[in-house]
Structure 1
Amino acid sequence: MASRKQWVLISAGVAVLCLAIWGGLYYRGMRALGEGLAGQGAFKAEKPTDTEARINVLALCDAVQSYRDEHGAYVVAGPTPKAVPKGGVPVPFPKDEAFQRLGFEPGEEVRFQYEVVVQEGPVGEPEVSCIARGDFDGDGQNSVYRVRLDSNGMTTPVEVEHEGE
């Protein structure tokens, strides 16, 4: 029978051996990954998604409703930026007085154009739409993301037209 010291030494040796094997495999994997990325550009931008639009139209409608709750009126805003961003390339979001009043700040750069539209509804209540437009593939056809506010301040789910355009 081996003594307690021998078992401790054997266990420590096995642990060191396992760490060495794992470290070697990790190093080889990271090296292979690095070589693979080198050919593709290690800092290649990720493919843009519509997450920005989906989050921001909901945030915009929340801001519109909060403003109405506090001031008693809806604010029309945008379209901002003036041109719809194309190809998924972010563009600066210019300062806009109406968006600033609402407290809507989508970030310094955006991949979508934002707008708040207020129209008279068929029963006299205003219809409010918060809209984001983008053209990821640069073909001139816009994807449109819309959230509507009802007279009670409730938002609809995000509606999407021409998704992926």
Structure 2
Amino acid sequence: MEHEVAFSYGQPIEEQNIDIQKLELSYFFPESNAVNSLPVYWYPVVNAGQLQTSAGSGTIAGGGLGLSWYLANQFKIAVEGGMYYYDNFQFGEKGVAYKDYGGPWQFYYRIGPSYRFDKHARAGIAFQHISNGDRYNSNPAFDAYQVYFAYLF
């Protein structure tokens, strides 16, 4: 299996009280067979990125595990889950336009299909949910649609 580097862009599904986007760069380690008789593979992933808002930005770092199910050589569905660390989790001004993700540690999962165009290129879409799992007083969650482009090597 191959190494993969992907760039993704995410927009919230629902309107937020501040404009927010998520930019992320992910490194996918080579996949390992998860079930011998099926085209299902697992892989570790590390992530780095930014939450960009109309009221500032914050850095994201994290990682987790993924599971890929190949429906054909070019088409797969992937599910990932893990944790992020936010260096900034409060944006805006209270009482005006404010978003508080509660704390720096957040859980995430992502699911979506992708298509491999050639030996080195893959593109896909995904749904992502980010939440602190009620670990803090505030837990507004971030649900987003993402598009991503990957380079395989």
Q: TM-score, normalised by structure 2?
A: 0.29
State the structure with more CA Rg.
1
| Greater per-residue strand proportion | 2
Larger RCO (CA under 8 A, 6+ residues apart): 2
Q: TM-score, normalised by structure 1?
A: 0.28
| Greater per-residue helix proportion | 1
